[in-house]
Chain A
Amino acid sequence: MKDMNILAIESSCDETSMAIIRNGTDNLGTVVLSQMDTHATFGGVVPEIASRMHVENITMVLEETLNKAHMTLDDIDAIAITYGPGLIGSLLIGLQAAKTLAFITGKPLIPVHHIAGHIYANNLVKRLEFPLMALVVSGGHTELVYMKEDYSFEKIGGTLDDAVGEAYDKVARVLGIPYPGGPNVDKLASAGKDTYNLPLPLDDDSFNFSFSGLKSAVINLKHNLNQKGIEVIPENLAASFQNRVTEILIKKTIRAMHKYHVKKLIIAGGVSANKTLRDRLSSVCEENGFELITPELKYCTDNAAMIGAAGYYAYQKGRIASLDLNAKATDTLQ
């Protein structure tokens, strides 16, 4: 079969990224322009600023990506685009660029769900084998997804309120830790001990998650101790919080794997870079005889390489969009 070079575009939040991926597995060139430093000034992503930066940088990212891959648009066989979910204003920039390129080149436009992209980040490490369970953990998502074959997604559980990364960011704010909260809380926790009595959130028979209660428990605990004039030890509070989060994520994931009779687990999304989560999942999987596949750290955060990988399999499933494709702030993975 002829090689297929997919130009992928991702702009769902605060990274303007493009990549050229061959046959769903080979990364020929990826550019990720992060706006993190700008948003750090505001303590979080400001959607309007994110959109403004995307539009200013979009063609420069395109040029750099083509240069990196030593290609021109004539070498591209299809355009893959994150159509959602994400920040609508940000999504629209990548989407317009992708549609324009599909129009000019006459090549197929492949709509890719952002979470499918995160899952397929693992395909750039090792070709996915099915069936598998995917634990998707990021600033916007906490989901357990069962896959019986390529580009087939069955969501078996998700968060009922805050995403896990969101909970990290909020707890980071309570602890006075700078944005981005996740990596910083992880770092702080590694120097602390699990000494605080925090609840294990939504410890039930479902595969759903809930983190807003745990976040509130952290806020209340700090407040109550402060009232009593007792100083909180940030390292220990971070460690206690992180232990509860990883415990419930792992508990439900492993139970889901037993129930669905799968032996392969992949983790995806920004929080999959969390060292504690990786380490513990790795040992629990070993105990259970499961294989754990983790994405390279550079593919944990938003990037277009994963969209290009997912796009290849979406295309094989006949997922092709017309030029009236629109962005969607929310959309179910299917």
Chain B
Amino acid sequence: MINLFIDSSYKALFIALTTDKEVIDEVCIMAEANFSEKLLPLLKEMTDRNHISLNNLHKIFVTVGPGSFTGIRIGVTVCKTLGFALKKRIVPISSLEFMATTKTDTDYKIPFIDARHGYVFAGVYDKKGINIVEDSYTNIQNLIDKIKGSITFISYDDLHLDNTILPKYNILDIITRHLNDEGLNPHEVKPNYLKKTEAEEKLI
């Protein structure tokens, strides 16, 4: 059983092919503005290199946000199209949960993405990477106030918080945790922006 995982939701473009127990191949590049160019060539190289036919895919895992709106859509569009064409189900994954696969010694992990104007996209995860406080668009202090214990912040952004580290992904953690998720019909997969558009906010 071969699984495909794609994350293009923020600063890193991460693509992996795994079995249920092992990583077959993974690639992680920092290319911010070039995900649109890079994703398909990297995916093709990876499947070619490992002699994997797409028809042998079992499930497709994709991060659906939060993060860069454009970045999220690139990965989601590719996976939806793959899923439709290959008749495979798609397991949507939180991009923050993926960041929270980073190993730490503290009680809690708060992966966050700077959403500017004093706000972040963030959630609270325990040592094992299990979600404790749901991902949201919030002030980070709100999250800190909700928990008691030591915290590691995981982010590409610098908000001058003590004990902030860069994400160091563990793809097998995510695959193992979600292996038995039923997944969605590709038509039903939607990005999870956690934020309305400015135009919609002004309308209210």
Contacts and interface: CB of A to CB of B under 8 A. Distances in A.
Contact of A51 (B34, B70, B85, B203): B70
A163 to B, nearest CB: 22
Given A93-B73, A324-B38, A101 B81 contact: yes
Contact of A104 (B38, B85, B193, B203): B85
A99 B39 CA distance: 10
Nearest to B45: A323
Contacts of A92: 36, 70, 73-74, 77
Interface string B69-103: 11001101110111111100000000000000000
A250 interface: no
Interface string B51-63: 0001000000000
A96 B81 contact: yes
Interface in A33-54: 41-42, 46, 48-49, 51-52
Contacts of A101: 81, 85
A100 B200 contact: no
A51 B70 CA distance: 8
Given A104-B86, A323-B44, A324-B40, A55 B77 contact: yes
Contact of A324 (B37, B76, B200, B203): B37
B162 interface: no
Given A41-B203, A73-B85, A96-B81, A103 B38 contact: no
Given A46-B199, A59-B186, A100 B78 contact: yes
A55 to B, nearest CB: 5
Contacts of A96: 36, 39-40, 73-74, 77-78, 81
Contacts of A49: 197, 199-200
Contact of A62 (B40, B44, B84, B191): B84
Given A49-B197, A89-B70, A323 B81 contact: no
B187 to A, nearest CB: 5
Given A58-B80, A93-B77, A326-B37, A104 B54 contact: yes
Contact of B82 (A63, A93, A104, A323): A104
Interface residues of B, number: 34
Nearest to B76: A55
A101 to B, nearest CB: 6
Nearest to A62: B84
Please classify how large the interface on chain A is, using the bins under 10, 10 to 19, 20 to 34, 35 or more. 20 to 34
B48 to A, nearest CB: 11
B82 A99 contact: no
Interface string B16-58: 0000000000000000001011111101100000000010000
A62 B87 CA distance: 13
A104 B82 CA distance: 8
A219 B197 CA distance: 30
B6 to A, nearest CB: 11
B198 to A, nearest CB: 7
A103 B40 contact: yes
B194 to A, nearest CB: 13
A17 to B, nearest CB: 15
19 contacts: A51-B73, A52-B197, A55-B191, A58-B80, A59-B84, A59-B187, A63-B84, A73-B85, A89-B73, A92-B73, A92-B77, A93-B73, A96-B39, A96-B78, A97-B77, A97-B81, A99-B78, A103-B44, A326-B37
Interface of A: 41-42, 46, 48-49, 51-52, 55-56, 58-60, 62-63, 73, 89, 92-93, 95-97, 99-101, 103-105, 322-327
Nearest first, the 7 A-B pairs at minimum CB distance are: A100-B81, A96-B77, A323-B40, A59-B84, A46-B199, A48-B197, A99-B40
